[in-house]
Structure 1
């Protein structure tokens, strides 16, 4: 087996467009890399538009009895957007950084983990990769279906390291030990369209929606916990079907999101929003979609392995955080303890997304320490 160079593999992965949901050529590249270092690769495509089709990969290197350590990640990326210097899907190296969509979130981390696996003298235990093509979307056909695949075969990792970019200013300064849950909400208040000069012949839905929004904004969800910040509801859009200044609209809509800690669950929050809205307008339509529940990984072996590997490689004692967005840890926590750790995240999803070359190489060395430590457990 030959060693994988993490920067070279990251550049190759970046140079294959894979806007979510992803499938095809980008998986071919990773398949070839992992097959070349002893993994049995299993791939499957599920789902239809709009949430699919999505490709998933489970790559397993089994060396007999012993612990099972997994790395999880995603090959899909968000759209490039406008304003790039050059092609967002053509990797380039400049001033010690690797540029391209996915360089930060999270093709470089996948490449770092593959390189780490290629450098390990694995004599026992199981090392696996759980890779989806739909983390940036709704994940309908992504990681939840990987979990189904594992459960159908009675395969259960002992720990999972997720390669999301968690570091803030320096590689190793932050590890995510849990994530907040997320609920997306859409509210529609209907009235009767009419001319503004004849309001008695119309029914304006805007004031009712405004009162609903004010009531929801005034909700005090909690004060946070030792591990989590307070839960928060944020409005993300308000709209009516018309922009005419002399027309009372027939309906008004609002869009919101709740990021919540482990004092709540998604269904209870949807019920709270619905009751609050219906107290003002019983006919208000409330639609909701739970992106994931809050979770927290308790202290244990995985904590210790990750923090020790970071200290040994960087000299940094990382802070343990639950802030930021969600990750597929919200699904994988059903299998075993999970921890998110990866590159500094300053450029994730931005135009000009990039990762430091030396950070990518150091990340690979940290992942190698974690893999070796996990596989060596008695």
Structure 2
């Protein structure tokens, strides 16, 4: 039986499955076909929740004795957008001048294809890792992330699964393979601030309270001073206003309310709870200090609503996991990777509650873009890094 040792062939099979969130699109079926010949038992649970699409996931396990290694990732992809803007069809996996084009090539079907190829080469050369290996692959990472990794982890844990470490194959390298391993992530907290005013005619402002004035005052309090200067391993906490709206279609009406959505990426100076308290304190102080307009006595009235399930900051300290991956990367590329906590959130925020987790994958420059693509040479290099990591983590080379 032919083993899936070629990462380019593996990736082409996955790209040709149009698995745009929440569609499975055949991607998990293609992945299962690769894993069964390697001795994996595959299950594909479907999870549901009110108001969200059903999501099919994949759990594959190869048994063994000793520490348990998890590889995690997702086969769902973002939409291709205007397919006419693509130089090569987004789900054709065309190869031109040594580069494969397709949605998910980098984020992150490429990482999955390389890990499977690395396992296949290890199985072909040695019979396979002596310890257990699991793949937890979701179809919900690019979507609401409700019926994907978080539910898959809970489901597997209830079945008695325990993991000693996880490698998440997200694209982590900014410029070239070997640049960066993600060893943690900032937290993410989102809220909506609504200022309550008094509607009125724009020609008679003294009879109204314009909430836009109050909103500007309160947003100014959130945007400065800085929350912190950063820490040893994390960038400074940063708040960005992501939308402002008054819901007003008339130009001569002072609106009754104005709202702004914001997102904060925070470091280990804060917890989600302490950051919420700081933001409340800033708003309370600003609402009392300045009014809607000169002459008004009432403080600015506002409501603050938090989005559910904030992402918590975390940092992985597992020396075996980080050291083994770093040495494997350096041995193959000649580059000592930087240990970073930059970037957005990932499913590592769920995995860290079950075992130490790090992230390492392809170069991310074209992810989510038109003509997303990956050099075949990078696929081969990443496969060799993963193969070396697997052997070294299990102490087999």
**TM value normalised by structure 1:** 0.94
Q: Is the 8 A contact 1:20 1:134 kept in 2?
A: yes
2:112 paired with 1:106: no
Given the alignment, which residue of 351, 361, 375 partners 2:394? 375
Deviation by residue 1:8-55 (Cα, 9 ceiling, x = unmatched): 121121121222234352111111111122110111111246433222
Take 1:93 and 1:24, find their aligned partners in 2: how far apart are those partners? Answer: 21
The reply on whether 1:266 has 2:268 as its aligned counterpart is no
Structure 1 residue 247 corresponds to structure 2 residue 253: yes
Tell me, in whole angstroms, the C-alpha distance in 1 between the residues paired with 2:129 and 2:90.
40
Q: 2:2 maps to what in 1?
A: 2
197-206 or 359-368: which moved more?
Answer: 197-206
Q: Give the secondary-structure state (helix, strand or coil) at the position aligned to 1:268.
A: helix
Question: Equivalents in 2 of 1:359, 1:24: separation in Å?
Answer: 25
Across the aligned residues of Structure 1 and Structure 2, the Cα RMSD in angstroms comes to: 1.9
| TM-score, length of structure 2 as denominator length | 0.90
Stretch deviating more after TM superposition (73-82 or 242-251): 242-251
Is 1:317 paired with 2:323? Answer: no
2:205 equivalent in structure 1: 199
Distance 1:150 1:371 in 2: 22
Q: 1:156, CA displacement in angstroms?
A: 1.1
Corresponding residue number in structure 1 for 2:93: 91
Do 1:2 and 1:118's aligned partners in 2 also have CA atoms closer than 8 Å? no
Name 1:57's counterpart in structure 2.
58
Contact 2:3 2:37 in 1 (8 A): no
Paired with 1:43 and 1:109, the residues of 2 have a C-alpha distance of 20
* Match in the other structure for 1:149: 155
Matched ranges for 1:1-378 at <5 A: 1-4=1-4, 5-48=6-49, 50-63=51-64, 65-82=65-82, 83-120=85-122, 121-122=127-128, 124-279=130-285, 280=287, 281-376=300-395
Q: Kindly indicate whether the alpha-carbon contact (under 8 Å) linking 2:129 and 2:391 is maintained by their aligned counterparts in 1.
A: no
Structure 1's 263 and 377: CA in aligned 2 closer, same or farther, altered over 3 A?
farther
> How far did residue 159 of structure 1 move?
0.9
C-alpha change, 1:110 and 1:102, in structure 2 (3 Å) is same
Question: Shift in Å at residue 93 of structure 1?
Answer: 1.3
CA distance in 2, matches of 1:138, 1:276: 30
C-alpha change, 1:151 and 1:299, in structure 2 (3 Å) is closer
Give CA deviations for 1:108-138 in whole Å, capped at 9, x if unaligned.
1001111111111325210110111111223
Report the 3-state secondary structure (helix = DSSP H, G, I; strand = E; otherwise coil) of the residue aligned with 1:183.
strand
Query: What is the CA distance between 1:299 and its match in structure 2?
Result: 4.7
CA contact (8 A) 2:18 2:25 kept: no
Is the Cα–Cα contact under 8 Å of residues 35 and 116 in structure 2 kept in the other structure?
A: yes
- Report how many residues are paired: 377
Aligned-partner Cα distance in 1 for 2:250–2:280: 30
| In 2: Cα distance, 1:2 partner to 1:97 partner | 24
Distance 1:123 1:369 in 2: 11
Higher Rg of the two aligned structures: 2
**Which 5+ residue runs of structure 2 have no aligned equivalent?**
288-299
Give the superposition deviation at 1:89. 2.4
CA contact (8 A) 2:129 2:390 kept: no
Give the secondary-structure state (helix, strand or coil) at the position aligned to 2:18: coil
Structure 2 vs 1, CA of residues 67 and 377 (structure 1 numbering), >3 Å: closer, same or farther? Answer: farther
Query: Is contact 2:184-2:340 (8 Å) kept?
Result: yes
Would you say the 8 A contact 1:2–1:37 is kept in 2?
A: no
Report if aligned partners of 1:173, 1:319 keep a CA contact under 8 Å in 2.
Answer: yes
